[in-house]
Chains A and B, each alone.
Chain A
């Protein structure tokens, strides 16, 4: 299982979505597929058509910047970050 951590801006959009959860997944794409199955629509909040990650959504696997194809191993930590900005 991967240890997935989600941004604070996401939780209010989907009732019951926790900030942190365990997900069985082989890639970042699998993580998002799992989330979208449980909370329909969440893929659209993280990805653009393609799909590719949205410009200001950053994903890290074990502190390394990741893409949808990046592998996720058992015990990996996956941080999904809404990029910090001003304004």
Chain B
């Protein structure tokens, strides 16, 4: 019987939530020895689970389980800059897998690849020469929480094409597996001075519609934006949301115009406004928004949701899931109309991904 598996990265290890009916859930873990886990993914091509983790004591590594969490190995062989480069890998922030290529984005900004399922790694790109790259190693440009390459997203068809977010700089696209890059930030808003025309934007989260490859959405530091040409140009769609700030975003698996976000207080608290938890949905590509809060706490809920901490499954009646900075996981199987809390008392959650395991 197929199992729905939620892969949860937390500040103290990885956890799995498993269900055969998406109503009752079994918690497994903690995995990865309590290391801070930034992102956990499932590679449907080989069935492996990968977790990007970085211990303050023992450094960064990519953990791998080929048997859905029963056993784990880890490796960082090859993840590191030359000692004389002055650059240091402090975090492994985000993972992406396609066609036997496993990528990890790191801080200081760079992308490493593995062709042997995470056993060994080599540097693929530092986006050297891109506008902004001359200053993104400056510690002054790496405030607390900086993740370097904060997100990677493969094209659905072409493994040579993928997008990378450089935190605080912007979105970049490659179509030749990082031989060359193009900034993709045209039309984005920035409320601060910028040194370059093409970069200087703070892209938090990029998602793409599974049913329309040209339709993308992004949650930005200052606003929600939509693209109808696969990121070449962007249009702001913030109006109607309670704040312009947030991290998490998810696209409906079957409807290109339906999209979900979790607006947060833009101050340093970065919690849901006024202690009232809500996910916001548009069904018309951002022309209008509605709050979905049935089953979520309406008061005294000072929680945040981070960039990788919301995800859809792709069932006919899709399930939407998100994890909070205070260790709860919420699920909805009616497109966000109602929510159920399916886990509590976990460490602060950094990522939630979904896999269906046969």
Binding site for B on A (CB under 8 A): 7, 9-10, 12-13, 41, 44-46, 48-51, 54, 56-57, 82-83, 85
Contacts and interface: CB of A to CB of B under 8 A. Distances in A.
B56 A85 contact: yes
A48 B61 CA distance: 12
B192 interface: no
B57 interface: yes
Given A10-B58, A82-B57, A85-B56, A44 B33 contact: no
B217 to A, nearest CB: 35
B80 A49 contact: yes
Contacts of B76: 41, 44
B56 A9 contact: no
B59 interface: yes
B74 A57 contact: no
A13 B147 CA distance: 25
B82 interface: yes
A85 B33 CA distance: 16
B337 interface: no
Interface in B93-112: none
Given A9-B33, A12-B33, A13-B33, A48 B75 contact: no
A45 B55 CA distance: 9
Contacts of B57: 7, 9, 54, 56-57, 82-83
B270 interface: no
Contact of B81 (A45, A49, A83): A49
A56 B56 contact: yes
B88 A48 contact: yes
**What's the dominant secondary structure at chain B's contact region?**
loop
A54 B80 contact: no
B83 interface: yes
22 contacts: A7-B57, A9-B33, A9-B55, A9-B58, A10-B58, A41-B74, A41-B76, A44-B59, A44-B61, A44-B76, A44-B77, A45-B58, A48-B59, A49-B80, A49-B82, A49-B83, A50-B83, A54-B57, A56-B57, A57-B57, A82-B57, A85-B56
B57 to A, nearest CB: 5
Contacts of A56: 56-57
Given A49-B80, A85-B56, 20 more contacts: A9-B57, A13-B58, A41-B74, A41-B75, A41-B76, A44-B76, A45-B58, A45-B59, A45-B61, A48-B83, A48-B88, A49-B88, A50-B83, A51-B83, A54-B57, A54-B58, A56-B56, A57-B57, A57-B58, A82-B58
Which of A7, A41, A57, A82 has most chain B Cβ within 10 Å? A41
Interface residues of B, number: 16
A76 B74 CA distance: 31
A75 to B, nearest CB: 28
Nearest to A55: B56
Contacts of B61: 44-45
A44 B53 CA distance: 14
Interface centre among A41, A44, A51, A57 (most CB of B within 10 A): A44
A83 B55 CA distance: 12
Interface in B46-105: 55-59, 61, 74-77, 80-83, 88
Nearest to A83: B57
B278 to A, nearest CB: 30
Name, among B56, B58, B88, the residue most crowded by chain A CB atoms within 10 Å (CB to CB): B58
Contact of B74 (A9, A13, A85): A13
Contacts of A12: 33
Contacts of A57: 57-58
A41 B119 CA distance: 10
A8 B76 CA distance: 20
